[in-house]
Structure 1
Amino acid sequence: MDLFGNTPNWESNLAPILEKYSRKKHPLAYQNRYQLMVMVLLSAQDSDANINSLASLLFQNFPSIESLSVAKKTALIPYIANVKNVETKANWLLEIAKTISKNENIPLTMEGLTALKGIGRKSANVILREANQPAVGIIVDLLQYMTKSIFH
């Protein structure tokens, strides 16, 4: 193995993989940017299957960030009770909803997303990618993400 030889052309080497998988939908069954953001936040350290299973009832009761912004934590918790770290995530969701207040105010930049409680760079990259915005960097768990995208 020549460590100091020619640098590989990563763009051309990755092109076939990107072509094959770039249009694969994320395994979270979201319908809009609001749902995507909520589901990505809830899915941290949890399974996409668990989040998908509770999403329908959650979004029937909180169909927009506006409805979530006026919700009490005690009203939200029953819909996300099976989510890991439910108390923390409920607090984050309610704080985000109050901060943003309208669906159209959901940021579509790395800086805007990571300024929100509970949204780190990894979650922000997922949201940006799914919203057809340029992601910043590479998803850290790329192998896990690709496996989920391919087999689900």
Structure 2
Amino acid sequence: MDLFGETSDWGTKLKPLLKKYKGKKHPLEYQNTYQLLVMVVLSAQDSDANINKIAPALFDKFPTLKSLSKTDAETFIPFISNVRNYPTKAQWLLEMAKTIKNDEDIPLTMQGLTALKGVGRKSANVIMRETHQPAEGIIADLHVIRVAPRIGIIKESKDGNKVEKELMQALPKSIWSEIGMAISFHGREICRPKPKCEECLLADICHYYLTQII
């Protein structure tokens, strides 16, 4: 078996995952781009489930970026106090709101998004995928960081930016926009820390599975 993308046709091998998950909405329960941006920033080192739980009250109070830009930390923080690292995230979001001001002015390019405090490449890739922008990278969240080396696409690394870079080298650009989220969903549902290999669509090409049965 060819490992680490050097001679492998991963575009073909990963088709079952793309077929299963293509176009599936991100687990964050957002209603528009403003909500998506705020929720993605809040979800760093926290769970999507926790952010979904606090979102209704947060967006009821602050329905637009403009409304957020007019508030202060004292008023804002109680709505996100159950979120990990909330003091820093509050600072980022209030600064972002004052900088952008209007929902329609939220940038939707890698350069524009990563210029915002609290938005790294992973977050930018999620926002661009969910808003149907041309891909400039591949989502590399904690599930992708675990699963992609297991399958054998890349070598193991805990560095999300390195994982993304290696995936971009190994995978055809035509699947960049969907493959990161597809691998992420696969990691959430099947290829968990303790994987359900018997349910896996990729068992016949997976490095981890094939080395277990030899």
Q: Output the TM-score relative to the length of structure 1.
A: 0.90
1:122–1:139: 8 Å Cα contact kept in structure 2?
yes
Residue of structure 1 in register with 2:60 after alignment:
60
Out of 181, 185, 199, the residue aligned to residue 146 of structure 1 is 185
Q: Which residue of 1 aligns with 2:210?
A: none
- Specify whether residues 75 and 21 from structure 1 end up closer, same or farther in structure 2 by C-alpha distance, changes over 3 A only: same
Provide the residue aligned with 2:20 in structure 1. 20
Question: One-letter code of the match for 1:57?
Answer: A
Residue 48 (structure 1) aligned with residue 87 (structure 2): no
The equivalent residue for 1:10 is 10
The within-5 A match list for 1:20-99 is: 20-99=20-99
**Cα separation, partners in 2 of 1:101 and 1:8, compared to 1, 3 Å:** same
**Equivalent residue for 2:160?**
none
Could you list the runs of 5+ residues in structure 2 that have no partner in the other structure?
148-182, 191-214
Judge conservation of contact 1:27–1:149 (CA < 8 Å) in 2. Answer: no
Tell me the matched-pair count. Answer: 149
Structure 2 residue aligned with 1:129: 129
Assess if the C-alpha contact under 8 Å between 2:69 and 2:101 holds in 1: yes
Give SS of 1:78's match.
Answer: helix
One-letter amino acid of the counterpart of residue 136, structure 1: E
* Structure (1 or 2) with the larger CA radius of gyration: 2
CA offset at residue 10 of structure 1? 2.1
Distance, in Å, in 1 between the alignment partners of 2:187 and 2:28 is: 10
2:2, 2:8 within 8 Å by CA — same for their partners in 1? no
- Taking a change above 3 Å as real, the CA distance of residues 148 and 67 of structure 1, as seen in their structure-2 partners, is farther
Are the aligned partners of 1:26 and 1:149 in contact in 2 as well (CA < 8 Å)? no
After superposition, the CA RMSD in angstroms is 1.9
Identity %: 60
Structure 1, unmatched stretches of 5+, are none
Corresponding position of 2:112: 112
